Amino acid sequence: MTSFEEPAITRQGVDEAILSCEGLTKAFGGVNAVNGATFDVPRGKITALIGPNGAGKTTVVNILSGAMKSDSGSMRLGSTDITNWERYKIARLGLMRTFQLSRELSGLTVLENLLAAPKVQAGESLFNIFFRPRLLKREERQNIERATEILRTYGLYDLRDNRARELSGGQKKLLEISRGVMASPSLFLLDEPMAGVNPALIERIGGYILDMKAQGVTVLMIEHNLNIVEKICDNVIVLAEGRTLATGRLSDLRNNPEVVQAYLGEVINAGTGH
């Protein structure tokens, strides 16, 4: 799917929070980048994290993914307290992320980038390498088949043997997203996935995110394009000065005086031209 038409799906328990954050704080040199942020991310939905520049959005994502430690507060992924866990432990629980500036494995091919993504591969064990070679070959074959399917879906199959550094900016965005999908996330954090790409690719990425939702992946995305947010997101979290200002659907938040004041009325209304 490459359009914003949302697939018809029925699941139970989608309103349950997959991620709960309580009172997160992070200061840099005495300045609070995150100042008591508290919010839930509902399971099985697409949630946008929006706010003015400097609101603390990327810092929050860095904390959630384990790239930074919070100064205080707590985080729960499902029923597990993951507060200040190491990033690899968080990733093994199914939380994956992308970055504002794509971080590909530049010296590897496009296909190899995806093959590096699955968690806890059999080849990581010396015992398996020496005593279970058939298991390794079977797993490698299955991973190649899945990676190939994902590359076809994301329009990167013809570039599978190219070095990742040879890709265009938009192709690197797609590679990073597809590599995250290869890791089978339960919660996917996307940091401005559509920034700096052309309108046609924005449309495609929006369709891919809706496909993730249809496949049971929960998405939390930072996005400044409010037209996109209104089209594909079920829920919005507004950050301002490092704290949670409001949550809800963007159409409702347009009428929230605090949100309009903090995030500029003309920016909030840009999606509909009001």
Question: Has residue 83 got a pLDDT over 80?
Answer: yes
Question: Has residue 40 got a pLDDT over 60?
Answer: yes
Question: Has residue 271 got a pLDDT over 80?
Answer: no
The count of other CB atoms within 10 Å of the CB of residue 69 is: 12
| pLDDT at position 126 | 58
Question: Has residue 84 got a pLDDT over 80?
Answer: yes
CB-based burial label for 11 (10 Å; 0-12, 13-18, 19+): exposed
Poorest-pLDDT segment among 77-81, 132-136, 243-247, 260-264:
132-136
Question: Has residue 266 got a pLDDT over 50?
Answer: no
| pLDDT at position 50 | 92
Poorest-pLDDT segment among 121-130, 143-152, 207-216, 248-257:
121-130
List all residues 6 or more positions away from 104 whose beta carbon is below 8 Å from its beta carbon: 113, 164, 165, 167, 172, 175, 176, 179
Domain with CATH 3.40.50.300 in the chain: 17-104+184-271
| pLDDT at position 63 | 96
Poorest-pLDDT segment among 43-57, 76-90, 130-144, 165-179:
130-144
5 pLDDT tier (thresholds 50, 70, 90): very low
End-to-end CA distance of the chain: 30
| pLDDT at position 255 | 82
Average pLDDT of every residue of the chain: 85
| pLDDT at position 260 | 80
Q: Which CATH fold would you assign to the domain 17-104+184-271?
A: Rossmann fold (3.40.50)
Q: Residue 172, Cα to own-chain centre: how many angstroms? A: 15
Question: Has residue 125 got a pLDDT over 90?
Answer: no
- CA dist 274 and 254 (Å) reads 10
List all residues 6 or more positions away from 195 whose beta carbon is below 8 Å from its beta carbon: 100, 224
